[in-house]
Amino acid sequence: MAFFTMHCHHHPDKDEARDAVRPTHREWVKSGGNGLASVLIGSAFLHDDGSPAGHWGILEADTRENAQSFAEGDPFNKNGIVERIQITALPDGFQAHRITERMSG
């Protein structure tokens, strides 16, 4: 397994579409895209004015291709909300357990 960051930048003026699709997006995340990747942590991110800009996550996946497929298969992307996807590999020494320890404490 390897770790990746995922940044998905959203098109502007897609608030209504994003709100409508959010429940299926959350199901996609919970399922790990039907097993493509596990989302260790993630959230929306904002523009400086507080308006929605996109979403990000730290993924655990077998391959970069699986991480990319997870992002591309997300209902936010399939419904035209995502403008750009960036997947970046994290170093082998990335300590994912620190995320789960902090989240559970």
Q: Report the amino acid identity of residue 56.
A: W
pTM for the model: 0.88
Residues 24-59: pLDDT tens digits?
999 999 999 999 999 999 999 999 999 999 999 999
pLDDT of residue 101: 57
∠ Cα 67 70 72 (to 5°): 110
Instruction: Inform me whether the pLDDT recorded for 100 exceeds 60.
Output: no
Q: Which CATH superfamily is domain 2-104 in?
A: Dimeric alpha+beta barrel (3.30.70.1060)
Q: DSSP assignment, residue 51?
A: -
Asked if 31 and 92 touch (Cβ cutoff 8 Å), the reply is: no
* Domain spans in the chain, listed from the N-terminal domain onward: 2-104
